[in-house]
Amino acid sequence: MRRLKAILISVAAIIALFLLFSPIETKAANAYVIDETGTLSAQEVLRLNSLAEEISLRQECGVYVIITRDQHGYSESQYAKGIFMNYDCGYGEKDGASGVLLAIAKDESYFDSTAYGAAKDTFNTSRLDNLNALTFDYLSNGDWSGAVEAFIRQCDRDLTDSGYHYYVPQYTDPAIDQHIVTTSPEQRRKAWLRSLPIAALFSALISLIATFFMKSKNINTGIATEANRYLVKNGVKIRFSQDNFINKTRTVTTVHRDSGGGGSSGGGHSYHSSGFSSSSGGRHF
Amino acid sequence: MAEQLSNYQCPNCGGPLRFDPATQKLKCEYCESLFTQEEVDQFYRAKEEAAAAAGTEQQWETDTGEWSSDEENHMRAYSCPSCGAQLIADENTAVTICPYCNNPTVVAGQFVAKKPQFVLPFKLDKDQAVEILNKFYQGKPLLPGAFKEHNHIEEIKGVYVPFWLYNGVMEADMTFKAERVNQFTHGDDIVTETSHFQILRKGTVTFSGVPADASSKMPDEYMDAIEPFDYNELKDFDTMYMAGYMADSYDVDSEQDRARAERRMKQTTIDQISATVNGYTSVVPIRSDVKLVDGAAAYAFLPVWLLCTTWNGKNYLFAVNGQSGKITGEMPTDAVLFVRYWLIITLVLFILAGVVLYFMGGGFL
């Protein structure tokens, strides 16, 4: 009874740890326009999201607008990039994600735009500056819905005008982007909290192994399986020894060396030291 | 040996003599005089003229023998109605508690024990054995505190445990499959050449003194765990070494016990023959025919300090090699302590992991 009680308390403690540190946040799939502040009405979000989704799929380039309460702890120069990475933006798989983002921190009246992946070829600093200028006009007049729509439609025009096509770039230093992800205190806190249940599980398992090891020290009996120490000196005598060669097999593996050319249709690879392009700087409105 | 020797009375004061492990001599409990067996032998030989001609010297050419009537007269047999142990001791050694099951109602039994060929005298005395047992309790955080407190450590008993010591020659005929891999680069190709071999080995492996306890009451895993015994100190059996100790009669004969020793010898034979196959990338034994071709067993008493204690209705046995001091035993685990340690370690690891993850930059998700 006492043992059962102890086991039940342990199980309850582990379950409590899991509940305490259950995952905090998940991001909805196919979200192109996200408003965490409630500035846009639900209908506006729905309409603008449909517009952004249509353009994104047609152009094969994700077009995003994300309105956050604050800058999530990012510096102004890293804000848009951090939001892009942490909201899993981009058309295509993670390594080949391509997209452009307008990030607005409402409480700080700050916004900036950035582009990632293949979209970087279209949305260079100049175009991003133009997008920022366009957005500024709307935001400074309090027209949030207009700002978002104008940004999305201008992105569509820029993509068409620049002859954009989707491809998977090769990065020489993807760690730069990883660094951006981890520089946000807010994101770091969330990632940390998400990791804690797994840490608790592993701690419990390792602890269980350690405790069983401690228990095993209470028993040191064991059946002997060999008699090595009772071998007579020079007691091993080989009377017959024969090594017969049977056959030889040969396996040839051809090494395919990458010539470095070719790749995506319609164009060659582009090499980037990092995935992002940036505007000259975000703006306060 | 003169027949009076088995009385082990002090030539000086007539008090009982006991074998003293520290000096390896017979010691008088009253006047603390020390005697070698030869000295005692000589004393009685001079005193007893008729006995000198009696010629009771034993020749031990077989694995077991019979006790002389004199030896039998001065030995006592006991049996445990609880576990069935058949114990013998010299007449001066009182057997009141079964060393195997802690049963206090040991009764006098019929003397049917076989005489061993060899005996390995105790080297450790009781105090040393108790000290070893006390040390064994240390560093066991899950051991219930009450177990140590209620453990009657003073009741540790010196017991000569019956053993069969097997000498044998194992003959092995083994076949192996072996591969030798050679890898090299040729242009853009990586070429892997694997040569296949069939390896044949035949040979013999000789063993001496593979022990197997001959008592069905003694758990095999205990006696295997307190090996090895140093056979260089084996003596021809003499009742002198029994003074102050008890012995268990064997109830597993050499044929019944043989399988244990053969299993160990077979494994070592396979290992030794396999070790002669060298120079290959991989070696897999595909056939092994290993059998005993020549074997003999000697009957010996080996020294073991035993403590059997009861806790929460269950018997716990500890055995200490009376020669080397190696100890073995099974101790209970406190379930509450187990859970407490588990939770504490979990908590500590969790906090450590949390701190490390935080400084790593937020974890791994």
Express each pLDDT in B239-272 by its tens digit: 888 888 888 878 888 888 889 999 999 999 999 9
Give the best residue of A18, A216, A236, A252 to mutate against chain B (max B CB count within 10 A): A236
From CA A103, how far away is CA A278, in angstroms rounded?
12
B259 touches chain A (CB under 8 A): no
What digits encode the pLDDT tens for the residues B173-207? 999 999 999 999 988 889 999 999 999 999 999 99
3-state secondary structure of B349: helix
What pLDDT score was predicted for residue B138? 84
Q: How far lies B290's CA from each of A101, A240, B166, B176, B272, in Å? A: 76, 14, 17, 14, 12
The reply to whether A182 falls in a domain is: yes
Evaluate whether residue A62 is within a structural domain: yes
Q: Is the pLDDT higher at A13 or at A39?
A: A39
On whether residue A250 sits in a domain, the answer given is no
Residue A110 belongs to a domain: yes
Any chain A CB within 8 A of the CB of B289? no
pLDDT band of A265, cuts 50, 70, 90: very low
Q: Encoding tokens for residue B319?
A: 């055995």
pLDDT, tens digit, for every residue of A112-124? 999 998 998 899 9
The torsion angles phi and psi of B144, rounded to 5 degrees, stand at -60, 135
Residue B332 contacts by C-beta under 8 Å, 6 or more apart in sequence? Answer: A218, B143, B144, B147, B311, B312, B314, B316
* Residue B331 contacts A, CB cutoff 8 Å: yes
The pLDDT, as a whole number, for residue B77 is: 79
Q: For residue B229, what are its two tokens?
A: 């015994």
Q: Collect all residues with Cβ–Cβ distance below 8 Å to A217 and sequence separation of at least 6.
A: B139, B140, B142
A3 lies in some domain? no
- Phi, psi for A247 (deg, rounded to 5): -165, 175
Does some domain include residue A16? no
Cβ distance B170 to A228 under 8 Å? no
> What's the pLDDT score for residue A4?
53
pLDDT in tens, A149-206: 999 999 999 999 999 988 888 776 655 555 555 456 666 777 788 888 999 999 999 9
Give chain B's end-to-end CA distance (angstroms, integer).
83
- Report pLDDT for B304: 95
Return the pLDDT at B150.
67
Mean pLDDT of chain B: 82
A158 contacts: CB under 8 Å, gap ≥ 6 = A122, A123, A127, A131, A164
Instruction: Please indicate if any CB of chain A lies within 8 Å of the CB of B338.
Output: yes
Tell me which of B347 and B99 has the higher pLDDT. B347
* Residue of A198, A250, A255 with shortest CB distance to B188: A255
Residue identified by tokens 């994300």 is A66
Q: Which residues does residue B306 pair with via DSSP β-bridges, in sequence order? A: B157, B319
- pLDDT at position B10: 72
For A194, the closest chain B residue by CA position comes to B365
Within 8 A of B273 by CB-CB distance, chain A residues are 236, 238
Whether the CB of B224 is below 8 Å from some CB of chain A: the reply is yes
Higher pLDDT, B40 or A132: A132
Question: Is residue A259 scored above 60 in pLDDT?
Answer: no
- Point out the least confidently predicted range of A233-247, B31-45, B316-330: B31-45
Question: Where do the H-state alpha helices sit in B176-226?
Answer: 220-225
Q: Are B153 and B128 in contact (CB under 8 A)?
A: no
pLDDT for B90 equals 72
Q: Nearest-CA residue of chain B relative to A13?
A: B343
Q: How confident is the model at residue B61, as a pLDDT?
A: 36
Q: And the tokens for A100?
A: 């452009």
For residue B47, what pLDDT is reported? 64
Query: Once rounded to an integer, what is the mean pLDDT over residues B297-315?
Result: 87
Mean local confidence (pLDDT), B159-170: 93
Taking CB atoms and an 8 Å cut-off, how many pairs form between chains A and B?
231
Residue A105 to residues A18, A74, A84, A154: CA-CA distances in angstroms?
33, 11, 13, 21
Interchain CB contact of B14 with A (< 8 Å): no
Q: Which domain holds residue A53?
A: 33-191+267-284
Domain membership flag for residue A147: yes
Least reliable range by pLDDT among A141-145, B11-15, B112-116, B307-311: B11-15
Q: Look at A28 and A41; give whichever has higher pLDDT.
A: A41
Query: Which of A226, A242, A244 has the CB atom closest to B267's CB atom?
Result: A226
Mean predicted confidence (pLDDT) in B34-56: 66
| pLDDT confidence tier of residue B277, bands split at 50, 70 and 90 | very high
A277 pLDDT more than 70: yes
Q: Are B337 and B142 within 8 A, CB to CB? A: yes
* Domain assignment present for A131: yes
Tell me, what CATH number does A69's domain have?
A: 3.10.310.50
Residue B55's pLDDT band (cuts 50, 70, 90):
very low
End-to-end Cα distance, chain A: 68
Q: Which chain A positions have a beta carbon within 8 Å of B349's beta carbon?
A: 202-203, 206-207
> Of the candidates B234, B220, B326, B329, which has an alpha carbon nearest to the alpha carbon of residue B264?
B220
Q: How many domains does chain A have?
A: 1
Long-range pairs of B107-111 with CB within 8 A, sequence gap ≥ 24: B107/B78, B107/B79, B107/B80, B107/B81, B108/B76, B108/B77, B108/B78, B108/B79, B109/B77, B109/B78, B109/B79, B110/B77, B111/B67, B111/B72, B111/B75, B111/B76, B111/B77
